[in-house]
Structure 1
């Protein structure tokens, strides 16, 4: 790819249900669509390298959920920060953009947002890329125990016990834990993410989202059933040293998906930041085989 053909990434927004929903978009309007769904505590920023890598052959769309990135972040007492609402907003955005079918890349919180789309319209999913995103009970290990306590009692004490999750040390940990050479990871990641986490009121937004995550777990059996029924071609590119979503959550996908390409990488949570030079060609090759114009 030379400079004259380097795709442009556009930074756009739509007003949906009274909220500004920001999204990045690149690639030809008539190309197969790939929707990139970000994790916590980041935004579509995590796809800044992947989007131009794919955009010469795919229409790539990466939204920011409310409370993340450049999307609006209303007070948590005035807006329900739920994965169902996130899914509805992304669905509406795709409808506004004229998207009928799409592949999805899901990571961390992006997985339950993606499952909201999949549960409503499984027939629209052309392919699936999963990077440290959970759909099985086996994936919720010891890291989640204090979060499960909060899910169980909803108490202010349990909520306060989780506030370390939005502090700078934790954000840095998410990017560097399990990484052999941390000089491969740009510090811009945690500086960018932490600046957004530190906005007034955002800490309580994140606590609300963490509490609502409990509602994703009962959906797992139906998501798995739809995997078995619809069999979307799937690529797993998982950081196997991830403390938050360990590889225990990657292997169960093999039970339900037949057209599965499975890769574990010796890195942590944000695998794309460390191993993008290996992962991005795998993603491109997978998409070219499964949904590319000549597929």
Structure 2
């Protein structure tokens, strides 16, 4: 797929984006969920080898290339790896799946009810390498903890500022100002977040677009206008800790949003499953998430 073909696939594809981007801090938890105990690895290299094995198994599963997964977000080490005898980005595109790269370097400590992204001086170099490997876009995550206008606006400002750096590198930025789904004031805070995002979009130069990855809103349909905004390529939803059933039920109430789930996609996969059981389990999750995404 060319860059323009990937843009078309993401803009209009009837499917969802798989999140396969657990990084260093979240990898042990992801492995435990997959049935790999901490005792099965002794250093970071072994840990990343095991998570790559899991991701490659997902990518190579027959159901993963059935057309319902239109994109996949990768961790940097996964992007640099191989699957099916090809680089991971090339293999994904071979299966009709648009590759994205997680580019943030983790979160700062909470301030003003939000956790901003850590500085990322090597962002341009990461983007250049991603382009070299045929990646279409990037993803970067902040977390909002409360309805504090100062923290929310600063989170969105930083997301758009980093997005401008990514656009300058020729990639599509997926902005992810996640709102903690456990926050008591989420309904109020998400309205502040929406207004801040709309302000950021209005300030984008003509002809530029971004993607948005947002928590499924407390008020169904809150982000419907964003999905139709001319400067938004696509709005995707994170599962945010919801189970697959919960996330799909809530997503289906938000036309215009498609899934970009991690836990919601992977929660029932186990290393101990044989290939047929693994593919059947993954296929069931893909079908359920796809149905919620095209409602």
* TM-score grouping bracket, smaller chain normalisation: 0.3 to 0.5
TM-score under structure 1 normalisation?
0.33
**TM-score between both structures, scaled by the size of structure 2:** 0.33
